[in-house]
Amino acid sequence: MTEHNETVEWRHSLSTVVSAIAGAGLRIQFLHEHDLAFDGRLSAGRK
């Protein structure tokens, strides 16, 4: 076990990430969204 660990996290929406990638001049050839998030919960905005 280590001590004095610091973690910093940011929550960026998919649209923010995609816009940043395109704004940097990179081309997005394929994008597929899924209904579930990585932790298995429903994505934000869905019931």
Count: domains in the chain? 1
Give me the DSSP letters along 4-47: S---------HHHHHHHHHHTT---------SB-TTSSBPTT--
Per-residue pLDDT of the chain (47 residues; tens, 9 = 90+): 778 888 888 888 888 999 999 999 999 999 887 776 666 665 555 54
pTM equals: 0.52
Residue 23 is predicted with a pLDDT of: 96
Give the span between the Cα atoms of 46 and 43, in whole angstroms: 6
Q: Range of 9's domain?
A: 1-47
